[in-house]
Copies of this chain bind each other. A is one copy, B any other.
Amino acid sequence: MARFKGQAENSVDEKGRLAIPAKMRRVLTPEADDTFTATLGFESCIALYPNDRWAQMEDEFDTLNQFDPAARRFLRDTLSMAEEAALDKQGRIVLPKNLMNEADIADTALVIGALDHIEVWDPNQYDAYMNDRDADKEEVAERVMGTMSGRLNGPGGVA
């Protein structure tokens, strides 16, 4: 399964097309078939899941009980915004318009690798998210990765 990392600031043209950085395209597995599923991510960004990964997620969704109102709500939120987007010959995808609106993306986008998916942000939104936070990087890292101490002491590990 693909592991995305790194970032790039690419332009979004009139037709909503966005070039996926070559370094991220390179890690796509053949099973993904050069196709992503775009949906709304958390904190106003667009999340792009390679199709092989997305298929796994749909398997999980399938196990939800649709007679539970909260589950219905979740499925509608997640699936109604989800659109398939395939790479064209130039390595671009077309961002669905409703997702661009939701994520406030106009003519420039910040593309970020996030392990199993790619996130697409409006550069300003991302700045704001990163700055308007009381939690600084080291504190968050400690809280999140604390349970793993001993197993992991790589970059970001507790100093």
Residues of chain A having any CB pair with chain B under 8 Å: 3-7, 23, 37, 39-43, 47, 49, 56-58, 60-62, 64, 68-84, 98, 112-117, 119, 130, 133, 135, 137-138, 140-141, 143-145, 148, 151-156, 158-159
How far apart sit A43 and B64, CA to CA, in the bound complex (Å)? 18
Q: With contacts A42-B156, A114-B75, A135-B70 known, is A58 near B3, CB below 8 A? A: yes
Q: Which of B5, B42, B75, B119 contacts A138 (CB 8 A)?
A: B42
Q: Which of B7, B23, B58, B141 contacts A98 (CB 8 A)?
A: B7
Contact B58 A115 (CB under 8 A): yes
Contact A79 B116 (CB under 8 A): no
Q: With contacts A5-B83, A98-B7, A112-B80 known, is A140 near B70, CB below 8 A? A: yes
Note all chain B residues with C-beta closer than 8 A to A115.
58, 61-62, 75, 79, 153
Interface SS of A by simple majority: mixed
Contact B79 A153 (CB under 8 A): no
Show 11 A/B contacts (Cβ-Cβ < 8 Å), sorted by A: A7-B80, A57-B154, A58-B115, A60-B145, A60-B152, A70-B135, A70-B144, A74-B144, A78-B141, A80-B114, A116-B153
Contact A49 B154 (CB under 8 A): yes
Contact B114 A77 (CB under 8 A): no
Which partner residue on chain B sits nearest A58 by CB separation?
B3
